[in-house]
A and B are shown apart, each in its own frame.
Chain A
Amino acid sequence: MLQISYADYEALRAHGEETYPHECCGVLLGKNEPGTGNRVHQLVRAGNTRTDSAHNRYNIAPQELVKIQRQARGLGLDIVGFYHSHPDHPAQWSPTDFAEAHWLACSYIITSVEKGKAVLTNSFLLTGTTEEDKKFEDEAIEIEIAEAQANNQKGQA
């Protein structure tokens, strides 16, 4: 199961709407909690370097990933996954998503954005031990609404 705050969940969906009709992408920083799964503590937006075909491809520059991994290290967090959007396409992983997924045990979130509006958001856990036996498994998303409400109440106090 992937745990994420309501604010981060909404933020990654909003990112997909902002970049429509292009694909957005970003990195999930957090921790893998044994027995529970990946828990997101922070989102980092990334640039899509596939400007040649940004409506149906995404790529995060390795240099940017190095910086994000450094940022995670400074925060005591790990890269636990990634997110991207599928403009006018279902929130399901594509053969390209699978072929280019190499972060085993990480979560891959996909949001479908139809006519500029975020619709479905799904997560897929890349399981397996090697490139040869890897596979995507559907992963439930637990959205921490209670925390969001508590924070809102603090903000209003």
Chain B
Amino acid sequence: MNIHIPTPLRTYTGGLETVTVSGATVSAVFEQLTSKYPELKQHLFTPEGKLRSFVNVYVNDDDLRYLADKEATAVTDRDELTIIPSIAGGTNCCPFA
């Protein structure tokens, strides 16, 4: 299946925006991905092996967090996986009076 890599992580995929790996589940795909591109692992997962909190993963148009089977979700070569870090911020200052 095709996995779309966000700009900051392409350093670790040889500059590729889209990489292709196989696997029957999201978890298996991630194993293949990090086996093929080992440096990605520390950017995607905590030392405990959990997806970092700011890393969003979409299976086609579905957020992995909200899929019933999470990382065990079955996928085929026709599915697409998108890795997208979160973007947020703000002054966090001065609540309205």
Q: Mark A62-96, 1 if CB is under 8 A from B, else 0.
A: 11011001100100001110101011110001111
A58 with B85: in contact, given A102-B8, A103-B7 (CB under 8 Å)? no
Q: Are A94 and B87 in contact (CB under 8 A)?
A: no
Q: Are B4 and A103 in contact (CB under 8 A)?
A: no
Classify chain A: how many residues form its interface, as a range: 35 or more
Contact residues, B1-51 vs A (CB, 8 A): 4, 6-8, 11, 17-18, 42-43
Q: Assess whether A106 is interfacial by the CB under 8 Å rule.
A: yes
Q: Are B89 and A66 in contact (CB under 8 A)?
A: no
A-B pairs with CB below 8 Å: how many? 112
Q: Are A66 and B7 in contact (CB under 8 A)?
A: no
B56's nearest neighbour on chain A, judged by CB, is A62
Please report the total number of B residues contacting A with Cβ < 8 Å.
Answer: 29
Contacts of A60 in B (CB 8 A): 87-88
Most buried by B among A50, A80, A102, A106: A102
Q: Are A59 and B92 in contact (CB under 8 A)?
A: no
Q: Are B42 and A103 in contact (CB under 8 A)?
A: no
Q: Are A84 and B89 in contact (CB under 8 A)?
A: yes
CA distance A104 to B6 in the complex (A): 10
Contact residues of B with A, CB < 8 Å? 4, 6-8, 11, 17-18, 42-43, 52, 54, 56, 58, 61, 63, 82, 84-96
22 A-B interface contacts by CB (under 8 A): A32-B7, A55-B96, A56-B90, A56-B91, A59-B86, A59-B87, A60-B88, A62-B58, A63-B58, A65-B87, A70-B4, A73-B18, A84-B90, A88-B94, A93-B89, A94-B92, A96-B92, A97-B89, A102-B8, A103-B8, A130-B43, A131-B52
**Top 8 A-B pairs ranked by shortest CB distance?**
A97-B89, A57-B90, A62-B56, A59-B88, A102-B85, A96-B92, A104-B8, A100-B88
Give 6 A-B pairs besides A73-B17, A103-B6 with Cβ atoms closer than 8 angstroms. Answer: A62-B86, A65-B84, A80-B7, A95-B92, A96-B92, A105-B7
Contact residues of A with B, CB < 8 Å? 23, 25, 27, 32, 50, 53, 55-60, 62-63, 65-66, 69-70, 73, 78-80, 82, 84, 86-89, 93-106, 108, 130-131
